[in-house]
A and B are shown apart, each in its own frame.
Chain A
Amino acid sequence: MEFFQGLLNMSGASFAQHMVNGISLGSLYALIAIGYTMVYGILLMINFAHGDIVMMACYFAYFGITIFHVPWYFTFIGVIVATALLGAVIERMAYRPLRDAPKNSVLISAIGASFLLENLANYLFSGRPMSFPDIPLLSQNIAVGSIKIQAISLVIPVITVISLLVLLHIVNHTKTGMAMRAVSKDYEIARVMGINIDNIISMTFIIGSALAAIGAIMWGIRYPGITPYLGVMPGLKCFIAAVIGGIGNIKGAVLGGFILGLGEILIVAFFPELSGYRDAFAFIVLIIILFYRPTGILGERTTEKV
C-alpha cells in the first residue's frame, strides 16, 4: 500500500533523478566489486583489504594533486601504478607465505592486512578528514531538464563497462588469463604444468588493485571526503555486490553492484521513512541470497569434492 502511495506521489522528474542517482551509485559499487570478485575467482580467497586499498588510492591522489601539484591526469596514472604495486606488496607479505596454509589462515591474514592499512593511514595521515582534489571537468553539473547529473556520474558507468570488457578479454583471451583460469581450477596441477603460479597470483593482485585505484578515483570525485576508514563501508557493500552476483563471476559483480546501488536509492525513494535503514537493506539482501541462492545470481552451482 505504502509502496503504491510512494509511486503515485512521486513526480516523473523525481523518479528520473532517483534512477540517475541509483545508476551512478550502482556503477561505482560494480567497479569496486569487480576487483573483489576477480581475486576471489582466481584464488578462492576474499581479499578483505580491498576496501582499504581503495582508501590508500584516495590518499595517493590527494598527495599527488593537492600536495605535489601534479596535473590530475598524470596523478591518476601514478595512483593506478602505485596502488597496483601496493596490491603486489600486500600479496607478497600477507598471502604468499600462507600459500599452503588452510583457507581460514589466509582469511585472517586478509583481515590483518585490512587493519594494518587502516591504522597505518591513521598514523601517517591522521584521522582528520581531507578533501579529495576537485577536478572541475569531472565534478561539474549537467542539467537535463530538471534532472541534475554530475559529469562524473556519466563517466563512472562508462569506465565500469570498459573495465569489465578489458578484464573479460584478459581472463578469456590471453595467455596470462588462461594461466589464471588454470590456477583457479587447481593450482597444484597448474604448477606441475609449468605455470609460475606466484607470478600469476601477483598479476591477479596487480590487476585487482589497479581496478581498486580506478574505483577510488571515481569514488573520491563523487564523495570528496577522505578518512582512514573510508574503505570499510564500500568494501563491505562491494563484497555484498560480488556475492549477490555470484562471487568469482566478473559479470555477476557488475550485476550485483547495480542491484545494490539502485536498491539502496529506490528503497529511500519509495519509503522515505526507512532512510536510516539503508545499510540494513544491503545486509538483508545478503542474508536472503545466502539462504536461497548461496552461489549468487550468475554463480555456478558447484559441489565440493570430498
Chain B
Amino acid sequence: MSVLLVSALAVGVLTGCGGTKKDAEKSDVIKIGVFLPLTGDNAAGGELELRGIKLANKLHPEVLGKKVELVIADNKSDKAEAASVAARLIERDKVKVILGSYGSSLSMAAGNIVKTSKVPAIGTSCTNPQVTANNDYYFRACFIDPFQGTVMANYAFKNGARKVAIIQEVSNDYAVGLAKFFKDAFIKLAGPDSVIEVANYQTGDKDFSAILTNIKAMNPDAIFAPGNFTESALLIKQARQLGITAPFLGGDTWETQEFISVGGADVEGVAFSTAFDREKATTAEAKKFLDEYVKEYKGEPSALSALAYDAYLIAIDGIKRANSTDSVKIRDAIATTKDMEGVTGKTTLDKNGDPIKGAVIKTVKDGKFKYIDFVDVK
C-alpha cells in the first residue's frame, strides 16, 4: 500500500516538474485567440470560420520560429457573453492577437476590451463599419456594409428593379447597416420614392406573414432582406407561400448550407453578395486552400471559411513583419498590411483597418450556391 502511495507521489512530483518545465518553454509558443460563436443562433457561421482558421493553422503552424497555438473561445452568439469571453482570452490566456468574430454585434461587444488592453483583433466576417471605426486595434478581413449594400443596390437597379421593399432584422446591427446603405444607394440610383417600404422583424421570429401580406399589396420589383440565415430562409419560404414572386436579395450571411436546407426550393434564384468564389479564386494561396479544404472537410469551402483563413494570414503576416511578440508592435505591423496574398485576393488595409477588395454575387441554383457576377471596387 505504502509503496503504491510513494510511487504515486513520485509520479506526481515528476509530472509537476514536467509542468514547470513546459511553462518555461511557453516562450516558444505564440498564442492566437479564436473568438467565434460556436453555439447559439450564429453557430453555423462560427463553425465554418473555425474550419478556415484551423486549416490556416495547419498549413502555417509557425511564425518567427515559434509554434502558433490557437486558443478557441465560444462567445455563444450572445453580446454580453462576447465581452467577457474576449476579456478572458486577453487576461487569462494572454493571447497576442484575436481572430473573430462572425457577426458585427459580437465583434463590437469586444471592441472596447481589445482597445483598452491594446491587443489587436482581426474580424473575420463582421461587416458593419462600426467595428473598426474609432478603434485602432480592430481590423478585418471582409469588406464592409456600405460596400455590400451599395453593390446589391447596383445589382438590383442593373437588373431592372425600380421600386424595392426592404425587410430588415432590426435587432441585428449587421442587417440594419446593410439595409441603410442599400437604401441610400438605391435612392441615389432610382429616385426618392423608389424604396416603398422598410419593414422590421426581430432575431428569432418565426412568423412573417403579416409584414409579407403588407408587402405583397405594394407589389415591389425586388425585396432586399438582409439578416440571419435561419430567419431569412423562413421569410422567403413564407413569401413564396403567400404568392410573392419578386426576387429576394441579401448579404453574405446567407452563404451557409442551412440557408438552403431550411429554405429548400423556395430560396432558388435569390441573389446575395459575398467575398469569395472558387471561380474567382486566382491566387496561389487560394489553390492551396481549396485543395486542402476539400481533403480535410470533404466539401466545398464557403466564403466564411476563406475569410477566416485570411484573417489568420493577416495576423501571421503582421507578427512576421513586426518581428516581435509585443501586441502593440504587432498592431502597428497589421495596420500597414499591403498586398497580402490570401484566399480572397490581395488584401490591403485602409486607414480604418478595412480591406479594399471586390465582391462576388451568388445565387442558389439546384440546391447549390452558384457564382453569377463580380463587382470590383471603384
Complex: A219 Cα to B77 Cα, angstroms? 24
Are A150 and B44 also in contact (CB < 8 A) when A25-B207, A264-B210 are? Answer: no
In the complex, B234 has a CB within 8 A of chain A: yes
Complex: A131 Cα to B258 Cα, angstroms? 8
Stretch at the interface among A86-94, A108-116, A223-231: A223-231
Q: Which of A127, A266, A275 contacts B199 (CB 8 A)?
A: A275
Q: Find out whether the CB atom of B44 lies under 8 angstroms from the CB atom of A276.
A: no
Task: State how many angstroms separate the Cβ of A258 from the closest Cβ of chain B.
Answer: 15
In the complex, B361 has a CB within 8 A of chain A: no
Give the A-B contact count at a CB cut-off of 8 A: 109
Residue in chain B with minimal CB distance to A128? B44
Q: Find out whether the CB atom of B211 lies under 8 angstroms from the CB atom of A268.
A: yes
Task: State how many angstroms separate the Cβ of B26 from the closest Cβ of chain A.
Answer: 32
Task: State how many angstroms separate the Cβ of A263 from the closest Cβ of chain B.
Answer: 11
In the complex, B204 has a CB within 8 A of chain A: yes
Are A272 and B204 also in contact (CB < 8 A) when A14-B217, A126-B43 are? Answer: no
Contacts of A24 in B (CB 8 A): 209
Q: Find out whether the CB atom of A225 lies under 8 angstroms from the CB atom of B213.
A: no
In the complex, A124 has a CB within 8 A of chain B: no
In the complex, B40 has a CB within 8 A of chain A: yes
In the complex, B15 has a CB within 8 A of chain A: no
Annotate B227-240 by CB proximity to A: 1 below 8 A, 0 otherwise: 00110011001000
Complex: A232 Cα to B170 Cα, angstroms? 19
Complex: A130 Cα to B216 Cα, angstroms? 28
Task: State how many angstroms separate the Cβ of A54 from the closest Cβ of chain B.
Answer: 12
Complex: A249 Cα to B202 Cα, angstroms? 31
Q: Find out whether the CB atom of B262 lies under 8 angstroms from the CB atom of A129.
A: yes
Q: Find out whether the CB atom of A272 lies under 8 angstroms from the CB atom of B262.
A: no
Q: Find out whether the CB atom of A276 lies under 8 angstroms from the CB atom of B258.
A: no
In the complex, A178 has a CB within 8 A of chain B: no
Q: Find out whether the CB atom of B209 lies under 8 angstroms from the CB atom of A25.
A: yes
In the complex, B242 has a CB within 8 A of chain A: yes
Task: State how many angstroms separate the Cβ of B171 from the closest Cβ of chain A.
Answer: 8
Complex: A21 Cα to B204 Cα, angstroms? 18
In the complex, B152 has a CB within 8 A of chain A: no
Are A233 and B47 also in contact (CB < 8 A) when A225-B262, A272-B197, A272-B214 are? Answer: no
In the complex, B39 has a CB within 8 A of chain A: yes
Annotate A7-25 by CB proximity to B: 1 below 8 A, 0 otherwise: 0001100100110011011
Complex: A279 Cα to B242 Cα, angstroms? 22
Are A130 and B210 also in contact (CB < 8 A) when A148-B242, A229-B41, A233-B204 are? Answer: no
Residue in chain B with minimal CB distance to A18? B213
Task: State how many angstroms separate the Cβ of A208 from the closest Cβ of chain B.
Answer: 22
In the complex, A143 has a CB within 8 A of chain B: yes
> For window 259-296 of chain A, which residues contact chain B by CB distance below 8 Å?
264-269, 272, 275-276, 278-279
In the complex, B66 has a CB within 8 A of chain A: no
5 tightest A-B CB contacts, nearest first: A276-B200, A127-B43, A268-B210, A21-B209, A223-B206
4 additional contacts (CB under 8 A) given A17-B209, A122-B39, A126-B43: A129-B229, A129-B262, A130-B261, A279-B205
Q: List 14 A-B contacts (CB under 8 A).
A: A14-B216, A21-B210, A127-B38, A127-B44, A128-B44, A146-B243, A224-B234, A225-B262, A265-B210, A266-B210, A268-B214, A276-B171, A276-B202, A278-B205
Residues in chain B within 8 A of chain A (CB atoms) = 38-41, 43-44, 47, 77, 170-171, 197, 199-202, 204-207, 209-211, 213-214, 216-217, 229-230, 233-234, 237, 241-243, 258, 261-262, 264
